Structure formats: C-alpha cells, structure tokens
Amino acid sequence: MSVRVRFAPSPTGKLHVGSARTALFNWLFARHHHGTFILRIEDTDQKRSKPEFLDDLYASLAFLGITADEGPFFQSQRIDAYREQVQRLLKDGKALEDNGGIIFRVAPGQVTFNDLLHGDITVDTTLFESLVLMKSDGTPTYNFACVVDDALMKISHVIRGDDHIANTPKQVVLYQALGFSLPVFAHIPLIVGADRARLSKRFGATSVDEYRQVGYLPDAFLNYLVLLGWAPGNNRELVPREEIIQLFDLSKVRKAAAQFDQKKLDWLNGQYLKQTSVPKLAELLAERLRAKGWLKEPWDRARLERIAALIQDRLRVLEDIEEEHAFFFQEPAYQDEAVTQFLRRDSIMGHLAELRVRLSTVEPFDAAEIEQVTRALAAERRLSSKDLIQPARVAVTGRAVSPPLFETMAILGKGAVLKRLEHAVTLAGSPAKQESS
C-alpha cells in the first residue's frame, strides 16, 4: 500500500501544540514509509477562517521543519467536488433535500471500524439517525467534506486525535454509501495539562508560535512533541530528527493521554542548546538582540561569542539572554532584594570603593587578573571571598545570581565595570527603602 497521509487544520486560530503533534505524527509516518504528506486547509467556515491564522500555520510548520509533498489544498476551492458527490447520493436515493440543505438518512444497526491503536470499535447508528451533508448556504459539513477529500485524495491512513473517534463511525457510513474504500484509522491520544484535562492556557502556552517566540529550538521542540505519546526505546530522550524518522512506528504510539511537562521540555531544550556550536548560538542570540535594539550594526561578533560560550550551560530558552543576561548589553536593573542583602551591609561601601581603585590599574583586564586582585583584597581585609565577590556581582550585574563573575567582568570591560562599581557604592551608602505605613 502506498502511504498517503494528510494534515487538515482549520485556520480559525493559532496552531495548537496538539494539532502540531498530529501534523508531526502524520509527517513522520509518511517519511518513515517514503510516502506522501498532504496539507489540506479546512476553511469552509469562512466567518472564522482568518488569513493571519493561515500565516501562523505556515510559519509554525516551517519552524518545525514539516514540509508538505502536496498542497496546500483549500476546501473552499473544492465545492464542486462536494456537489458532485452529493448529487450521486441524491440520484441513488441515499440523500434528500431538507429545508434547503441535504441530509443522509442512516439505517438503524451497527457500524464497526478498526483502529490501529484501539482495535475494533462498534457504534450503534441510532446515535446519529441522520447526517447533514450540505448546509442551506451550499457549504459541506465537516464529516461529508472530510470523507470526500480523503477518498479523492487517496488517503491511505487517517491519523488524528482521539477527539475525532466520535466522528469516525459517521464517516464510515458515508464511505460505504459512496462506495469508497476505507482508509486505515489511527486515533492518537490527546495532550493534557498537569490537571489531566485537555491542554489549555491554564498551564502555559498552547500555540507553537508562543514557544517559537520565547526561543525553543525547532529540533528540540520536535523531539519533545514526538515523545508525547511515543518513545524510541531504551529510555532515550534526545533523538536526532533523522533517527526519529527511522524509528517511528505508529503502532507503538501509546493509547493513554500524554501529559505536557514544561520542566522536561525546558530540560530537553537546554540540552540542545548545550550541543549547539558557539558561533551558531551567537547567531541565534543576535537575532533576538537585534530585534530588541540591543545589538547595533556592526556588532562585535567575537564579544557575543564569548558571552554565548559563558552562558551556554545556563540557558533554558533563547529568551533567557533578555530575561537574565541583559546586563551584558545595557545598564543593569538592580534587584531590590539583592541590593538589600548584599550592598547595604556594614563596610561594603568602602570595600567596593577600594576594589574599584585597584581594578582601575589592572592590565590586561582579564578574568585571571581580576580574580587575583579581588581575592587579594578580600584576604587583606579579612573577608571571606564570597563576602566581597557577592556584592561585586550585584554591583556589576544587578543580580544575586549570574554567570561566573570574573569572566563576566572581563567581557563587560574595565570602563563598564568601574562605572558600575561607582554606582554600587552610592547604592550601598543610601538608606534602605522604608515601607510606607
């Protein structure tokens, strides 16, 4: 059997993570079997279908590296095909006109279909005694258009979410009435949140675009999506794209709902970031920094690569460069708690002032020289190293937690470090903020 699968979204909202996983499973199945992956846009609901959602769909699939072999095909442009098939049913007396629409009377009995994951499923047809095929406005209903499209496009396997199981028996009777062969059905588990309910915004982002925007890597996000319901075996979690294609087996997709684990996604993305070459990581960071206006042309590539190498193991997503390491590119935003805890302590003002004086003479201004001067001052003043290093960290980064301090200071450069130490002395000497009563 020649494998032909399709992904058929409606452009009525941004591409949901669950829909993206459905697209991915179809695409992987096609690639594994050297088959055909078709993109079909179910846009017959013209009121809710928006161009911006179509743009988002294309961008999200491109982000994941999911490319169509055929399409996109638009249902709104296939009305003639639906009318032709409905005329066949009318002619054979299997459908009738009713209030301007066309309906299909379902004979009482049972309908059975086989699901690749769930086995045989039998449904009593009295649960749906009639099916609307065409609405009074001349547009087809979902179940009818879906059957006609899948049959005419010669779809071999219909791979979709568990939430479509209720639609399948209705579609089976239409396949049979039209004389079309049934495809193989496979209903994959839904993705749920921490509350075991269908993934919703209560537990974070739900669209692929939101994950793209904050800086998840395409291969990492694809790797994580495929683990939601399928596993490569041997407890492996980091699996390259090409190997996923080789190993992917639809029959091994689990039946139970897959829980979205944000911490696991963050860990997995962090692993991919660690494996990214420093020049490539610097390029990815540069895209974000330029978009924020923090990196002006021509920018110092060597400096950004030094920053990338220093923070690489600390990154969870690319957005962390803006959220946690902005001090490399602009004056630090001092955290009140860090200032209170580390700068407003006895004698700190004097220690930081002296550190500034000594660092002003350091040449070359590199991490080793900076560390030697700082630790020597701490020893001379009978301070533990951390009692000087931690206030200095807050002084130059504004934060209590940062990448290794001496390397950070070397990258910032002498001028910036001396300026920030001078500012920190004023913070150390100013009274703590008093809460208004």
Q: How many helices (H) and strands (E) does the chain have?
A: 18, 12
Catalytic residue among 47, 50, 170, 201: 201
Edge-to-edge strand ranges of the sheet holding 36-41: 4-7, 36-41, 70-74
Tokens of 321: 């460069």
Q: How far apart are CA 248 and CA 119, in angstroms?
A: 20
Which residue's entry shows tokens 């941004």? 14
* Degrees, nearest 5: CA angle 319-323-326: 105
* DSSP label at residue 245: H
* C-alpha distance from residue 161 to each of 53, 168, 403 (Å): 21, 11, 44
Total count of residues recorded for the chain: 437
Place of tokens 């900076």: 370
How much helix, strand and coil, in percent to the nearest 5, is found in the chain? 50, 15, 35
Residue 12, burial from CB neighbour count under 10 angstroms (0-12, 13-18, 19+): middle
Copy the structure tokens of residue 254: 């689990």
Q: Which of 377, 399, 379, 380 is nearest to 390 (CA)?
A: 399
Q: What tokens appear for 60 in the block? A: 């999200």
Please confirm, yes or no, whether 280 is among the known catalytic residues: no
Full DSSP string of 81-138: HHHHHHHHHHHTTSEEEETTEEEEEPPSSEEEEEETTTEEEEEEGGGGSEEEEE-TTS
Alpha helices of 130-217 — where are they, by DSSP H?
A: 142-152, 168-178, 208-214
CA distance linking residue 36 with residue 70, whole number of Å: 7
> What distance in Å separates the CA atoms of residue 403 and residue 285, rounded to the nearest whole number?
16
How deeply is 169 buried, as exposed, middle or buried, from its count of CB atoms within 10 A (0-12, 13-18, 19+)? Answer: buried
C-alpha distances in Å from residue 31, one per residue of 60, 132, 160, 208, 392: 19, 36, 17, 22, 55
Task: Catalogue the active-site residues.
Answer: 201
